[in-house]
Structure 1
Amino acid sequence: MANGCEHPAACHAGEAPILASATRKGRFWLLIEHAGPWAAELEECRLPDDVHRLISRARALDIRPQLIRRPGRREARTGPLHVYVAAAAVDDPWLAEGFVERPDDLDLGALVHGVVPESCILVNEPMYLVCTHGRHNACCARLGLPLARFLDENLSGEVWETTHVGGDRYAANLVCLPHGLYYGSMSQAAAIAAANAYRHGEVVLDRFRGRAGIPEPLQAAEHFVRAHTGEISVGGVAVESSRSVDDTTVCVVRRTTERGTSRFRVVVEPTVLTAPCGLTCADGIPTYRLAELSELTPVLT
């Protein structure tokens, strides 16, 4: 039985705060093709024992496991296990595909060291994941299924339905791999814009949840520098260092362009907001506010 959706419509329409809400557990990814059905949790899914062991190994190595399937299709595939692995937390993120006869032999240790496992081959095209995990939350299926089918019609071969990616209140959720860029509250027009931008190495800041694999305050700092400078290149903004003082996070954020490198001191603080419609999502919507942003003056030598 699907879980009910308790979030106000405003949360799904892009009116609620969405920044800095990507999962920090997305440095490395393991994607396993499985047509379903999908239980509420991966551990409850009817999968072969060796696939469950593979998922357990992934979790132990802090690799994010996901089940995936082609939009609108529920035919079970036969033959070797079809997997993708992705490294988002490396200087040059990558995605690779493999067909594995023995799941126990997939070298996940190589993955967490940023190395493509021997049984996988690099993929040049991006991958777009749409959460359609209705058993986890009804909104993910209600809003995600039509979006996945629409994107598949326009980006054939690059779109997959997937299990829970985090942030039910932001359905429909879109994840762009290999960089692990999260978008939420996606309409069809917004999703196509985000996908096309990613193909060109760019980010659309509207409805951008953040970059997976880094803590939420750092995602917020990157967001505020992008908003301040207009920088949209995927790799154009990154946190170089950070420190926490109570609830406040102080970051040095690097912006890199063809003209050179600049750095910003960014101070962010957590806050909780109610939904724009006046209702609350549980205890409110956690987000971050910008307390300070200033460009650092280069030291002359």
Structure 2
Amino acid sequence: MTVCSDIQVEPLPGSAKRGSVFVLFEWPAGWSRDILDGDTFSQDLTSRIKATLKQAGKGTELQLIRRPGREGRDVGQLHRCYLVWAEQETMELVLLRGPEDIPALDLSGPGKNGGEVITQPLLLVCTHGKRDVCCALKGRPLAAELNDHFGNSLVWESSHMKGHRFAAVSLLMPWAYSFGRLNAEAGKQLVNAALTGQYFFPGNRGNGKLAPGEQVAELAVAQQLIDAGEDLHYGALSVVDADPKGQEHRPVAVTHEDGRTWHVELKKKEVSGVISSCGDKPKTSSVWVASEIKSPQLR
């Protein structure tokens, strides 16, 4: 059986799920195709959850999560809910009675919901089969193996996180980096690196706080540094795009916390044969690629 994620014609950089604030709510019951379409929760509750996310501002996202395997189907009386502020690299855990408690959350910043600060990272693996079969076929086995290896609530199954054509796909918290085309060995390396905050490049689709072109620029510099043997951690690079609505060949500035700045030239590239979802016809897509990285300058 050929599925959309078997067609690997697109580059991964620049395809990350966008978002800077995340509500990760433990919900082992059924996930409809879109978790906010009114079929997972009631129409009334869905409307109130949407209003809460909208009020919190652009870039606020809900992900449903569950533990891999049978144990993930038994929650008990309280549901774990992780609140993530990726800009601050902060994650908190609150316990909720059910989804009806989500609209009461204050998502304006950390420390406002009586939550426990969580210092270990979380890896969310998309297993949302109702959205696309790829995530069931490739995501569930990966989540199960990583959970067996690490345990301790490090790895969770998750609802759709964009890019099932890159399955198995995952989202690393609290930094909001997306990864794609992961196998079990790469997944283990990714989690081990995350435990010490080390930047992991293989399969990296980009930083969800950034626009696609900015994601590409950051990853281009990160690859150069890692290939040169430098020790790089999440948060060490910042990105400024002076002309985010610009056309081709615009430079994007990537700055290291030590003061070095690279200017990355971007250009658009057409990729043919892209199958967005299983059952779709192939199409041509336009992606950003890094065409030149100028030598770093010191501030």
TM-score range, shorter chain: 0.7 to 0.9
1:33–1:81: 8 Å Cα contact kept in structure 2?
A: yes
1:68–1:160: 8 Å Cα contact kept in structure 2?
A: yes
Q: How does 1:25-44 map to 2 (within 5 A)?
A: 26-42=19-35, 43-44=37-38
Query: Does 2:94 correspond to 1:94?
Result: no
Call closer, same or farther: CA 1:143–1:105 in 2, change over 3 Å. closer
1:160 corresponds to which residue? 156
The whole-number CA distance in structure 1 between the counterparts of 2:112 and 2:284 is: 42
Call closer, same or farther: CA 1:86–1:227 in 2, change over 3 Å. same
Three-state SS of the structure 2 residue aligned to 1:284 is strand
2:277 corresponds to which residue? none
1:243 corresponds to which residue? 243
Call closer, same or farther: CA 1:52–1:115 in 2, change over 3 Å. same
Q: Which runs of 5+ in 2 are unaligned?
A: 275-279
2:25–2:82: 8 Å Cα contact kept in structure 1?
A: yes
Q: 1:64 aligns with which of 61, 65, 69?
A: 61
TM-score scaled to structure 2, two decimals? 0.84
Q: 1:200 aligns with which of 190, 196, 203?
A: 196
Q: How does 1:1-301 map to 2 (within 5 A)?
A: 6-7=3-4, 9-11=6-8, 16-24=10-18, 26-42=19-35, 43-47=37-41, 51-53=45-47, 55-60=49-54, 61=56, 62=58, 63-73=60-70, 75-90=73-88, 93-101=89-97, 103=101, 106-108=104-106, 111-112=107-108, 114-156=109-151, 157-230=153-226, 231=230, 232-244=232-244, 245-256=246-257, 260-274=258-272, 282-298=282-298
The whole-number CA distance in structure 2 between the counterparts of 1:163 and 1:5 is: 22
Q: How far is the alpha carbon of 1:128 from its aligned partner?
A: 0.9
User: Which deviations, in whole Å up to 9, do the C-alpha atoms of 1:245-281 show, x marking residues without a partner?
Assistant: 324442111023xxx32011112122122469xxx97
2:90–2:110: 8 Å Cα contact kept in structure 1?
A: no
Q: How far is the alpha carbon of 1:201 from its aligned partner?
A: 1.2
Q: Which runs of 5+ in 1 are unaligned?
A: none
RMSD of aligned alpha carbons? 2.6
Call closer, same or farther: CA 1:116–1:282 in 2, change over 3 Å. farther
**Residue-pair matches, total:** 281
